[in-house]
Amino acid sequence: MDKLSQQPEQQDRYSESGPKRSRITLWVILSLLGIIIIGAGSAAFYVWSSLKPTAAGEVQKIDIPKGSSANEVADLLEQQGLIKNSFIFKYYLKLNDQGTRFQAGIYELSPGMDKDAIIAKLNAGDTVAAETIRFTIPEGFTVLQMADKLAAENLINKETFISLVASQTNWGDVEAVRSIPESDKLHQRLEGYLFPETYEMKKESTEEDIIKRMASELDRKLASLPEGWMDVLDERKISFHELLTIASLVEREVVVDEERALVAGIIYNRLADGMMLQIDATVQYSLDKPKERLYEKDLLVESPYNTYKVDGLPPGPIASPSFDSIEAALYPEKSDYLFYVTKKDGSQSHLFAKTYKEHLRNIEKSNQTAG
């Protein structure tokens, strides 16, 4: 009787537990769903907030180096306070298929700019001109003259410049300088290899930057020579270093353009005949500081560059030759001349002779024309 009376009570308990468990399950599901919604919302807010413009500020210059990846650009933008979160910005670029067209250069960007405005500017390459320096190296200048001029213009430290010129640096991918022989007779290692030209470079350019730029300009000029010019060197049995040396002699000896190839031919003639070159410009180079007039005693200076005392060519160039002088040395004018003397009539042209006797008459003739 007692057992039978208990059965309805148990059924009531079982019937009450079903709805209770359902409510618990629903609560758990709703709680989890709420957490997911809150989490998703928080993540969305975080992403939205991270892509919002930074606080407005003054215009900044940012330098995007060549070869920079989109990720590297994003890091730079965050470092300079132009975006809030480079990590999120990188994913934004990927989702929108952006970043592959960013261009190198210096940009003016402002904190507070919209992300899409920044992207558009980088895609367009809307750069600003960098502050530059401008200098001119005259044709026929020596390394020392270059150093003095650039130092006077406050563009270099002279001692640093000269030290770099003397170093065994390969200067990266610059090709011509590899022709310089290893010789302790060279007065200045890069003499003749720094092309005379007007240059414009970034304001912060170092002595090394300036030297490399001038050396690479020689490479660029050589590339404009007629095809097969190196075969000409082989035919003449001379090295490029020797060609540049001859070109430098022409540069320092000749003012009238039409005479460059003719004087180059005379140098080749004297070398072929085993004669000393006896070129005054080599003596001037030996003295470091050029004189207005050379005396007999100056011709006796002990130097491997003094062609009044040594046979053949000097150890290297005595100045930076112009492109015209390089062409003249490469393609000299054929003649039987062995001598030349400068006219003293102010024309800066020369009188040419085949024999020493004729040369002496030209010297006398030149003296007679002196004003």
Two tokens at 308?
A: 């009044």
pLDDT given for residue 233 in this prediction:
94
Alpha carbon distance 177, 329 (integer Å): 18
* Listed range (39-43, 125-129, 229-233) with the worst mean pLDDT: 39-43
Cα distance between residue 41 and residue 35, in whole Å? 10
49-53, 126-130, 152-156 — most confident range: 152-156
Q: What is the mean pLDDT of the chain?
A: 89
pLDDT at 14 over 60: no
| Whole-number Å distance between alpha carbons of 127 and 111 | 17
Range(s) within the chain of domains with CATH label 3.30.1490.480: 60-124
Task: Tell me the pLDDT tens digit for each residue of 264-285.
Answer: 999 999 999 999 999 999 999 9
Question: Which pLDDT does position 242 carry in this prediction?
Answer: 97
Distance CA 151, CA 155 (A): 6
Superfamily of domain 60-124: Endolytic murein transglycosylase (3.30.1490.480)
Could you tell me the pTM of the whole model?
0.71
pLDDT at 337 (0 to 100): 96
